[in-house]
A and B are shown apart, each in its own frame.
Chain A
Amino acid sequence: MAALHLLGGDQLTDLLLIIVSAALVNNFVLIQFLGLCPFMGVSSRIDSALGMSFATTFVLTLSSVVAYLLQTLLLIPLDAMWLRTLAFIVAIAVAVQFTELALKKTSPLLHSVLGIYLPLITTNCAVLGVALLNTNRAHTLAESAFYGIGAALGFSLVLILFAGVRERLQLADIPAPFRGASIALITAGFMALAFMGFTGMIRL
């Protein structure tokens, strides 16, 4: 993306590319098929999709930073990289629990709407995936944070768009056997097909 180099320094360009790559080209839901559970579960209404997006964005960004810090400050000095997965899951669980408490206070309706999916962010493979991919790719702190943000943006984008489509599908005259989850899964497949158009855009 030569043009982007003209817009800012290389450092900034790289960070932007990381965001675009994580959000669109290697979209976590539609290309890497991570985080499908909340994608199918919380996409029947736009407002709950929005809430889930905010919660996931927060958790993803927070947990990728925390995971980075854990790794550099604790796991590497202790030479305990084998604990990575375990440590990350604990960190993510804490972040999710924190979000849940905060959400319960600030928006009880959203808290109830997100219901089971909120604690499930803990086991949202996208979250753990981001943390692990960050360490695999030896991202710096800023890169980790931006990768998390990019993944979250991509997740939010497809979740909200998908919720919009599903709200329309609820009114459509869908053949009886395909109603509900089946047409949603098919549509998600077509959405993944459309996102394949981004393939090859950024090679990172």
Chain B
Amino acid sequence: MTDALWTIGAGVAGLSVIALLGGILLQYASKGFSVDGNPLVNSIDALLPQTQCGQCGHPGCKPYAEAIAGGEPINRCPPGGQDTVDRLASLLGVDILPLDADDATTEQDLVAIIIEKDCIGCTKCIQACPVDAIVGAAKLMHTVIVDECTGCDLCVEPCPVDCIDMIPRPKSPDYWMPTRPNIISSDRCGQIGIQHG
């Protein structure tokens, strides 16, 4: 009987000692290693397309980066496309999720253009633009600086006269891309958009 008590006592005591020591150590460690802010946010932000479109439900890319760092799903960025999801998954070491978007057309690179003859100069689009890419003053015609436009289409909704269109981003007249060399038959066909052949 005493043996059993002794054993139990020893066990309780032993574990208590271990727990106490461990607790003290971790208490000091958590103080010594406390972190301010989350540097991870910048790494995530660097992978986002910076359209600032708000389709993820956050007002801009940086806030979404903060949300991802806080554990939000990585597939909420339609302009970035599946590619961005893959990169985020790779960076964060999480599973790749399918893109959470309505249609596939979101990946197209668009810019806003103001039909200048219809513009009434209400400045509503200027206030909506997250990157200050629309210039103009009240009662005067507005114009989109194409190079700065991210194609977020946040300016389309506020326009009272529907004079803003989204068009494919204009390319330099001497832009060209070499054709893809033929690839011998491969199981990667789907992956790179080449037909079996």
Contacts and interface: CB of A to CB of B under 8 A. Distances in A.
A–B in direct contact per CB < 8 Å: yes
Interface of A: 42, 44-45, 48, 70, 74-75, 78-80, 82-83, 86-87, 90-91, 93-94, 97-98, 101-102, 104-106, 108-109, 112-115, 117, 173-176
Interface residues of B, number: 32
A197 B21 CA distance: 44
A101 B39 CA distance: 15
B10 A115 contact: no
Contacts of A83: 11, 14-15
A-side interface mostly: helix
A94 to B, nearest CB: 4
Contacts of B115: none
Interface stretch (B24-32, B54-62, B103-111, B135-143): B24-32
Contacts of B43: 109
Question: Chain B: interface secondary structure?
Answer: helix
Given A80-B10, A112-B92, A101 B40 contact: no
15 contacts: A48-B93, A78-B13, A79-B6, A80-B14, A83-B11, A83-B15, A90-B18, A104-B35, A108-B40, A109-B40, A112-B93, A117-B93, A173-B186, A173-B188, A175-B187
Interface in B85-135: 90-94
A68 to B, nearest CB: 14
Contacts of B39: 108-109
Q: Which of B14, B15, B30, B186 has the most CB of A within 10 A?
A: B14
A45 B87 CA distance: 12
A53 B132 CA distance: 47
A74 B186 CA distance: 62
Contact of B35 (A93, A105, A174): A105
A104 B29 CA distance: 11
A93 B38 CA distance: 25
A78 B35 contact: no
A101 B26 contact: yes
A75 B18 CA distance: 11
A108 B18 contact: no
